[in-house]
Amino acid sequence: MKRYLTTTVAATALALMLGFAPASAEERDPNAKPGGDIVITYKDDVSTLDPAIGYDWQNWSMIKSLFDGLMDYEPGTTTLRPELAESYEISPDGTVFTFKLRPGVKFHNGREMTAEDVKYTLDRVVDPKTQSPGAGFFASIKGFDEVTGGSATSLSGVTVVDPSTIKIELSRPDATFLHVMALNFAHVVPKEEVEKYGADFGKNPVGTGAYKLAEWTLGQRLVFEKNADYWNKGLPYLDKITFEVGQEPVVALLRLQKGEVDVPGDGIPPAKFQEVMADPAQKERVVEGGQLHTGYITMNTNVAPFDNVKVRQAMNMAINKDRVVQLINNRAVPANQPLPPSMPGYSKDYKGYAYDPAAAKALLAEAGFPEGFETELFAMNTDPNPRIAQAIQQDLAAIGVKANIQSLAQANVIAAGGEKEGAPMIWSGGMGWIADFPDPSNFYGPILGCGGAVPGGWNWSWYCNEDLDKKAAEADSIVDPAKAEERYKMWSGIYEKIMEDAPWVPVFNEQRFTMRSPRMAGADKLYVDPVHIPINYDYVYVTDVQ
Amino acid sequence: MIAYIIRRLIQSALILLGVSIITFALLYLLPADPVRQIAGRSATPQTVENIRQQLGLDQPFFIQYWRYLTNLLSGDFGRSYIQRSEVSELIVARLPASLLLMVGAIICELAIGLSMGLVAAVKRGSVTDQTLMVTSFVGVSAPQFVVGLLLLYVFAVQLGWFPIGGYGTWRHLVLPSLTLGILGAGWYARMMRSSMIDVLRQDYIRTARAKGLQRGTILLRHAFPNAILPVVAMIGIDIGIFMGGIVVVESVFGWPGIGQLAWQAIQRVDIPIIMGVTLVSACAIVLGNLLADIVAPFIDPRIKLR
């Protein structure tokens, strides 16, 4: 018994994984000057700034500047680092995460943040009454099912050890859990303010972030003011950010040229894109970056002839992806695998299926379809998707496949995809997968795994490879950050195997183009930050302050 | 008179009830599931079902409609699934801007339309008349989206006289009012012209001329006040036309009114907001028409209400 005890303790001590150094060691831009204000425009009104609810690309970055989570990413990258946590420990089996909170962090109302707030935040986001679109991300926490089922109001796996320590127990090892804790949904909220405002907390947000909300005039503007008490000293650089809403992107571009706007939040309107890129003075102010997005064609493996792997492979060779990219003014890069290039785990060496209509036709003949066949291609009915579907249709016609286009409203396409034999082929444009967090597993479960191949699911290929599901579970149980590379390699292998079975034709990865005024400065990567869209408000600055 | 107004009010209420049933039915049939919008793609089927129950969206159509209607009568327009706030709050916040824009547009269309019609009637058959009538025709038929962007480009971007969209000062108001008013101005120019020509043919004008009154006096003192009567009676009906126009004009100029709210809601399939704005617009149109009918006999005693 005694021997048993000592060995366990030794093993535990050895296996304890400590979080990395606090964020204060990060590099700061030596040229950055504090002060000044900027103007950002948007077409749509901001929906909500409640971190448990906000889930569109417009409010995502705004919420990140008003609130903080236990984890975050180094600015402009996909590298995790502790944020409101000072450090963390993960148990050897990967199921217990203990976070030590940063001392002296205050909410905008002046109260100090404690472990109780973290627990309240997690209970709240999972509570069905909150109706959070992010609740599902926390499914690995112990007690999740009881709270969503209504038999408990508090997650049994989340324990406040002391005011500055919180322990979270999982029901299974989850390598993505640190990413989950960096999601907006896990950003810490103060109980008293949430209760004070009730359903209107999203209009009266109070967090710990670099900025606080100073003004919100519905339909007109939001003003963010620098949080002078921010725990990360020296940040943010800007004194004020004004978000003007209700501005058409074309008008915003005109105002940018007149110097009235610093960043058009909706980007460069498609109609003006070529004009901007052809003008050197304007192009110079455009920052291009990757996006965690893939546009793909699904082939329903339940429907003949797509139950034949050779047919699916032939489809992969038949599509001229360069031409599809040209159709959307080169605002994307051709894809050869499910993961986008900026995602960890992307296989740089993987060649994919080259565009080769002759080989595709030969493979079709080998599969028993020398004359081709007739099928249906579903696509969303908003531009540019019908145009892209037509390009795909032409490419398929060249190898003898007659694809009839079903151009439908988004909800109808999604419904058809979720039926077992509903849609033979779907072009994913307008519904393509954008990752919630930069981890390769995020592209698997719901869209390529067996779990998503259910009625109403997102796995529109109905591709289910139980062997790969096992490998995925195995990869995700590698929780040790030191073994991250090994884990990414496993994921690369999984996606390469998927491409052998070819349930998808990956077509392109959308690129982001952010335009900024000449006075805005800071590293380019801050303007195409993978998690802060459009820009990382906390780290950018202006050059015209004294 | 009172009996007439009461009868019209009852009719109006029935019209609004009809509008609410039709819009509710149309939006009910739309292929957009608000529960999925709320729940997000990471939601489990259990969560989706919970939310559906909480919102009462698992109930049959008529029960859902009945609940909507009874809430409506107590002033509750429901809650936007996407904006996550009360629809009534969103509409009330944006109503003043739309009203201001409409007042601006009425001033623009009357000033431009009446003066164009007056000049055309006086110079009847001349080149000036024809030019003005062609211009009014262009004004009636030009798409407001094009007119708005054109005005914006010329007067705001190139000449810099006015701000490029936005809201706040009288300078922000000019271009959107003009865009919205141009359509009506064309109408008014044509109506004013024919009405003025009618009046100028009347005996009392000939009498005035025979008395040796000055031409200007005849036109402005005797003819104009009579000629505008049928025209002014139309202002109430304009409100209905404006309700369609503000959706476009407010979006082009970034004007924070309910037209822009409607446009944003349509693009995001935000059903409760679309419902709310449709009902408010229907109310405005019905009230505008009612007002036009009630005011008419006061302006023109020849008209009798029955």
DSSP-derived secondary structure letter, A112: B
Interface test with A, best of B36, B41, B79, B155 (most A CBs within 10 A): B41
Q: What is the mean pLDDT of residues B220-231?
A: 81
pLDDT for res A17: 44
Of A293-302, A342-351, A406-415, B274-283, least confident by mean pLDDT is A406-415
Return the pLDDT at A7: 34
Q: How confident is the model at residue A56 (pLDDT cuts 50, 70, 90)?
A: confident
Contact B90 A219 (CB under 8 A): yes
Find, among B44, B270, B53, the residue nearest to A458 by Cα.
B44
Confidence of residue A27 (pLDDT cuts 50, 70, 90): low
Mean pLDDT along residues B3-17: 88
pLDDT tier at B3, thresholds 50, 70, 90: confident
Percent over 70 (pLDDT), chain A: 95
Confidence of residue B306 (pLDDT cuts 50, 70, 90): low
Residues with Cβ within 8 Å of A250's Cβ and at least 6 positions away in sequence, in order, are A269, A271, A272, B149
- pLDDT at position A415 is 83
Q: How far apart are CA A503 and CA A429, in angstroms?
A: 17
pLDDT surpassing 70 at residue A12: no
What does the CA dihedral B104, B107, B113, B119 come to, rounded to 10 degrees? -140
User: Would you state the pLDDT for residue A470?
Assistant: 93
Contact B152 A248 (CB under 8 A): no
pLDDT of A531 above 90 = no
Provide ipTM, 2 decimals: 0.79
* Percentages of chain A per state (helix, strand, coil), in multiples of 5: 35, 20, 45
Q: How many CB atoms lie within 10 A of CB B243?
A: 23
Are B164 and A199 inside 8 Å of each other by CB? no
Q: Residue B296: what pLDDT?
A: 73
**A458: pLDDT strictly greater than 90:** no
Q: Could you report the per-residue pLDDT of A381-393, keeping only the tens digit for each?
A: 888 899 999 999 9
Which of A93-107, A248-262, B120-134 is the most confident on average? A93-107
Nearest to B165 among A135, A202, A251 (CB): A251
SS3 B16: helix
CB contact under 8 A, A248 and B251: yes
> What is the rounded average pLDDT of the residues A154-175?
94
Residue A62 has pLDDT above 90, yes or no: yes
What is chain A's Cα-based Rg?
A: 25
Find out whether A108 and A175 touch, Cβ atoms under 8 Å. no
Collapsed DSSP state (helix, strand, coil) of residue A508: strand
Place B305 in a pLDDT band, splitting at 50, 70 and 90. Answer: low
Residues of B in contact with A220 (CB under 8 A): 167, 256
User: Which CA distances in Å does A272 have to A252, A253, A325, A381, B283?
Assistant: 12, 9, 17, 22, 39
Q: Cα distance from B246 to chain A (closest Cα, Å)?
A: 13
Q: What is the pLDDT of residue B291?
A: 81
Length of chain B: 306
What is the side-by-side strand order in the sheet with A37-42? A211-217, A221-226, A240-245, A37-42, A263-264
Tell me the pLDDT of chain A averaged across its residues.
89
**Mean per-residue pLDDT, A515-524:** 93
- How does pLDDT run across A321-360, given as a tens digit for each residue? 999 999 998 999 999 999 999 899 999 999 999 999 999 9
Q: What is the pLDDT of residue A26?
A: 57
pLDDT of residue B244 exceeding 90: no
Alpha carbon distance B248, B144 (integer Å): 7
Q: What is the DSSP string of A126-190?
A: HSGGG--TTGGGGTTBTTHHHHHHTS-SS-TTEEEEETTEEEEEBSS--TTHHHHTTSGGG----
Partners of A375 in the β-ladder: A403
Which residue of A215, A221, A248 is the best one to mutate when testing the B interface, meaning the one whose CB has the most B CBs within 10 A? A248
For residue A128, which residues of chain B lie inside 8 Å, CB to CB? 47, 50-51, 54
Contact at CB, B264 and A458, closer than 8 angstroms: no
pTM: predicted TM-score of the whole model, two decimal places: 0.84
Q: Please tell me the predicted confidence (pLDDT) of residue A13.
A: 37
Q: Among the listed ranges A370-374, B63-67, B298-302, which one has the minimum average pLDDT value?
A: B298-302
Range of lowest pLDDT (A143-157, A159-173, A475-489, B39-53) = B39-53
> Does B89 contact A218 at a Cβ distance shorter than 8 Å?
yes
Pairing relationship of beta strands A425-427 and A374-380 according to DSSP bridges: parallel
pLDDT at A456 (0 to 100) = 78
Task: Please name the member of B46, B51, B250 whose beta carbon is closest to the beta carbon of A131.
Answer: B51
* A485-510: average pLDDT: 94
Q: Quick one: pLDDT band at residue A400, thresholds 50, 70, 90?
A: very high
Interface contact B31-A136, CB threshold 8 A: no
Residues A108-126: tens digit of each pLDDT? 999 999 999 999 999 999 9
Chain A residues touching residue B150 (CB < 8 angstroms): none
For residue A246, the chain B residues in CB contact (below 8 A) are 250-251, 254-256, 260, 264
**Nearest beta carbon to residue B41 from set A48, A139, A446:** A446
Q: Is the dihedral of CA A415, A419, A425, A428 positive or negative?
A: positive
Count of other CB atoms within 10 angstroms of residue A144: 22
| Contacts with B158 (C-beta within 8 Å, 6 or more apart), sequence order | none
Q: What was the pLDDT predicted at B42?
A: 65
Lowest-pLDDT choice from A61-70, A419-428, B23-32, B250-259: B23-32
- In angstroms, the CA A270 to CA A178 distance is 37
Closest C-alpha to B166, from B178, B157, B176? B176
- pLDDT band at residue B169, thresholds of 50, 70 and 90? confident
Could you tell me what percent of chain B has a pLDDT over 90?
15
Which tokens hold the place of B231? 């025209």
C-alpha distances (whole Å) from B100 to each of A173, A175, B139 are 60, 56, 22
pLDDT at B91: 92
For residue A216, the model assigns a pLDDT of 94
CA angle A192, A194, A200 (to 5 degrees): 140
Q: Assess whether pLDDT exceeds 50 at residue B224.
A: yes
Check CB contact under 8 Å for B33 and A411: yes
CA distance A49 to chain B (A): 10
